[in-house]
Amino acid sequence: MSGYKYDFFISYSRKGSVQKWLINHFHGKLVEYLADECAPTPKVYMDKVMPRAVQWAHNLENALRHSKIMIQLLTPHYFESSWCMAELESMRAREAMLGLAGADISQGLIYPILYSDSENFPLEERMRSWQDFKDYAYSEPVYQDSVDYIAFCRQVRVLARDLVQLVKQVPEWSPDWPIVERPDPVLIPPPPLPRFE
């Protein structure tokens, strides 16, 4: 497969409430508002919608290689996840290869969204500007019934407009995009076989 398959790749840690927030609120609204901003609707990759019977590690790697922009959901656990770090380093390597996110061209291919914390992030990560969603970091479904949900929707709409403009500036796809080696998978030991005596 060659060329871009996705416009956006969502990179996040599964620890904490961010995954529930992503599924319950953010992903659906983002796709909806991206559709309002342009046609055809930009494609968003999220690993919760991975096809059945695929090898998930290769699927993630392939999706990242064929995505234009990485949306990074920032939490303290993000920087503790070896998978998230492999995704981040892969996109940083692509930016470096293209001369992006540097002194000459400050715009990059990583779009950070602040979900929680920020005080304990690595210094390098605090140097890149982000969209602040800390005030909208409520993962429970009942959040949709609150008055504050309208402000969240407005913020996602602003984000969608920004992303649509950014994705138009992405360089052509290259088969040489670097991928940082993924970490060894966590192997779960098989359950013990029953003993027959």
What is the residue-wise DSSP string for 23-89? IIIIHHHHHHHHHHHSSSPPPEE-GGGPPTT--HHHHHHHHHHTEEEEEEEE-GGGGG-HHHHHHHH
191 part of a folded domain: no
Task: Find the CATH number of the domain harbouring 70.
Answer: 3.40.50.10140
pLDDT in tens, the chain (197 residues): 469 999 999 999 999 999 999 999 999 999 999 999 999 999 999 987 555 545 556 778 888 999 999 999 999 999 998 889 999 999 999 999 999 877 777 788 999 999 998 777 777 777 778 889 999 999 999 999 999 999 999 999 999 999 999 999 999 999 988 888 765 554 445 556 555 55
1 part of a folded domain: no
133 part of a folded domain: yes
Parent domain of 57: 6-167
The Cα–Cα gap between 91 and 55 comes to 21
91 part of a folded domain: yes
Residue 69 bridge partners (DSSP): 8
Indicate the pTM of the whole model: 0.85
Domain count, the chain: 1
CA distances from 98 to 23, 67, 176 (A): 32, 15, 11
The Cα–Cα gap between 116 and 125 comes to 13
75 part of a folded domain: yes
193 part of a folded domain: no
50 part of a folded domain: yes
CA distances from 100 to 93, 121, 156 (A): 10, 22, 25
189 part of a folded domain: no
